[in-house]
Amino acid sequence: MAENNKQTALSPRQILNDQREMQRLDLSILGISDTRWPNSGQQSIANGTIYYSGSDDTHHRYGVAIVVSREINKSVINFTPISDRAMLLQLQTYHYKLNIIPTYAPTADKSDEDIEEFYNEINNIIQSLKSRDITLVLGDFNAKIGRGRFDKYVGEYGLGRRNERGDRLLQFCQENDFIISNTFLKLPNCRLYTWKSPQDNKQNIVRNQIDYILIDHRYRNVIKSVKTYPGADVSSDHNPLIARFLITLKKQRVIPTTNCIDVSGLKIQETRQRLQNKINDNLRTLKNNQITAEENTDKQWKDLKNALIEPSKTILTKQKIGKKQEWMTPEILNLMNERRGVKDNNEAYKNIQKEIRSRIREAKEVFSKRKCDEIEALQEKHDSFNVHKKVKELAGLQKKRQPSLLTDQNGKIIMEMEEKLRTWKNYITELFDDERDINRIVTEQEKHKRWKSCRA
């Protein structure tokens, strides 16, 4: 598991690059702060899924997200977006639930009221969880916890000197019995600092530890190592903080589904003709086969059904959308690998970064032109259905499902499915509750009918 802070808005190119780094570093879960994505939801990406929580205003500031691998995603049981500074992702283990809360705390220039609102928000999430579950709180806390042990909550191997925001983080750990995991292992300073200031240079080193991974004190032994990776290429001024956990996840039971037949494919002439030819071949084969007396009606019907259905399943089945960005080229991927090798050379890194951006613009232009040519070809065939479909895909106008947050009358977040169903049942019952006398209602309806008949 890793935590990282983005310096700019998280783009599809950066997601792909981060996933390549996840594979290189053998990571299954990546928490991201300051994504700047609008709204909340989930999206399938290359070899995994990203869950994100943001705001619906026009500024698109802050935001948090979690990227999970395809294998880990099979254990996800609940995703709850809270705000643009916190969210909750729950995974099922063989004994308890694993609760992961990525956060992005207000920076030092924000008011104390913003800080208190941030910690109250996290406290509300934690109070909604069961104490026996494993809970992780990770992210950019914009706080210096400093070097030196403090009771059971902070280890000896922090970095720097504690500031006022670090005191508030320590208070939060005391209230919820959390430990700051990346202060308990003796490591060189290059494996402790998580953020490098823009003023940092060879003459004046300004590097701080402001990103942390917190865990319940009772489950502290599940963490085997926590350290930063300064050499990772993640397009950020923060170093990813990586922790290795010893937790066995349980895959959720997936109900197998039959292959769906996409009848919209019949609107395409080539597809329709190919399906027609295949069905005719199957029917001719059945006709040429001699039907023996032993073959009953059920056997004949089964053969006829397979002759009609099997070609449809093969030809009209919805194709899975490619996870990798369609405009991505091997040249861009090679440049990304080359960029990681020169991360210590600032000038060379900037030059390769500029080349990557230029290649991406060119690739996107070629991709857009190809899509426009496809739309024009469909328009010439008067295929309005697929024309509108392609236009929406190109313009990114597909509606995405927005996760909702359900709370009780006291404002407590509801996590359990049984409690959610009970809450909705009570709400519907109260909404349609009618205490009027049924006889009085019938009488009024009869009066209304009589009045209508009199007018007629």
User: Which residues, 6 or more positions from 143, have their beta carbon under 8 angstroms from its beta carbon?
Assistant: 105, 163, 165, 166, 168, 169, 210
Is 218 strand, coil or helix?
Answer: helix
Separation between Cα atoms, residue 124 and residue 82, nearest integer Å: 10
Q: What is the pTM of this model?
A: 0.72
Separation between Cα atoms, residue 160 and residue 153, nearest integer Å: 17
Residue with tokens 């390769």: 352
Interstrand relation of 241-245 and 223-228 (parallel, antiparallel or unpaired): antiparallel
**Model pLDDT, residue 291:** 57
What's the token pair of residue 195? 């953020």
Strand-pairing partners, residue 42, are 51
Q: Position 14: which residue type?
A: Q
Query: Residue ranges per domain, the chain?
Result: 2-245, 271-310, 330-395, 417-455
**Model pLDDT, residue 437:** 63
Tens-digit pLDDT string for the chain (456 aa): 777 776 666 676 678 788 888 888 899 999 999 888 888 888 888 788 999 998 877 777 889 999 999 999 999 999 999 999 999 999 999 888 999 999 999 998 899 999 999 999 999 999 989 889 999 999 999 999 999 999 999 999 999 899 999 999 999 999 999 999 999 999 998 999 999 887 777 777 788 999 999 999 999 999 999 999 988 888 788 899 999 988 888 887 665 555 567 776 776 777 888 888 888 888 888 877 765 555 677 888 888 888 888 888 888 865 544 445 667 788 888 888 888 778 778 788 888 888 888 888 888 888 888 889 888 888 888 888 888 888 887 776 665 666 667 777 777 788 777 888 888 888 888 888 767 665 555 566 666 665 656 555
Q: Which of 101, 135, 108, 90 is nearest to 33 (CA)?
A: 101
**Model pLDDT, residue 76:** 92
**Model pLDDT, residue 133:** 93
Q: Rounded to whole angstroms, what are the CA distances from 219 to 27, 155, 216, 226, 299?
A: 21, 16, 5, 15, 60
CATH architecture, domain defined by 2-245: 4-Layer Sandwich (3.60)
**Model pLDDT, residue 12:** 66
pLDDT in tens, 118-133: 999 999 999 989 889 9
Separation between Cα atoms, residue 295 and residue 300, nearest integer Å: 7
Separation between Cα atoms, residue 41 and residue 314, nearest integer Å: 32
- 164-176 helix and 112-127 helix, angle to the nearest 10 degrees: 20
**Model pLDDT, residue 143:** 94
**Model pLDDT, residue 192:** 92
**Model pLDDT, residue 250:** 83
Contact in structure between 326 and 360 (CB atoms under 8 Å): no
Separation between Cα atoms, residue 197 and residue 204, nearest integer Å: 10
Q: Rounded to whole angstroms, what are the CA distances from 370 to 199, 230, 318, 365?
A: 45, 40, 22, 9
Q: Rounded to whole angstroms, what are the CA distances from 342 to 62, 233, 336?
A: 29, 10, 10
**Model pLDDT, residue 72:** 92
Separation between Cα atoms, residue 51 and residue 31, nearest integer Å: 10
Residue with tokens 């093969």: 314
Separation between Cα atoms, residue 456 and residue 453, nearest integer Å: 5
DSSP 367-421: HHHHHHHHHHHHHHTT-HHHHHHHHHHHHT----PPP---B-TT-PBP--HHHHH
